Structure 1
């Protein structure tokens, strides 16, 4: 478990209520490779799409000794489609890297009253702060990942027309141990493991 720096601990301490004590603190451990692995279907599709149009470009270019308007137009369309797919693949990988860096900037803390999340805001200009009252928390859903980390989902946000967004502690090393610590402090919390 990665320990917090003095500056990170100060960020947590400035949000404590009078008499509140920190019992546990930690940080996510989200590697960019695991974030890219979550997008593997899209990346594979885009690479296949790019290679298919790239191969079509080669076949049309090599198979036509004279290039008329139709051949040039076909080559232009195939070339643009191949480059767009390749660029989209790069954008997916870059987005995964940036998301992992943003997630790794978060700080998690458990006090004798609450569970706290502190990190960069969505626009990157401010601070995101979220708290979950330990006494009213009823269930933790633990979602394990292949890299050994896990998400502790305390609740879901349901934006209209979109997939539910998990709220809690994401990409946490030793997530099962942390669940047990939370249940030790807040015994009314039930835990389930999702796949």
Structure 2
């Protein structure tokens, strides 16, 4: 997401602020039989530069805020934010014998200063030949400050007799599991 914001900001800046006439010729001039006669005025190009500069500045600020937020020091508030986002990303359909594990959670969190450990697993009883409920708990802890903690719970119906893919529901909570 951050990369997309940076790319859009840079493209807007380069294409429209630096040379709007070239952009017009590349995108619009082909529509006219005589492009030179239909070329926008200098005032139109100047207004385009101003509007595009403001848009590029807006995307740049959004990218900068997002970048600073993701690389800033870990706090409980930041862990809660990335933990909730990771839980949303991990919720969905998985293969019959798969569910998100430590590596998938680390990727979803995207921070090197958070340690992810597998916690307890709870299996709900079910009659022979039927799927049973499974709850897996993953503990999140700050590498430098172990008082910063969170818990991701992965819940789904599975087991040997479960037919088809599994639907995983991931939730995040503050504090230890």
Larger Rg: 2
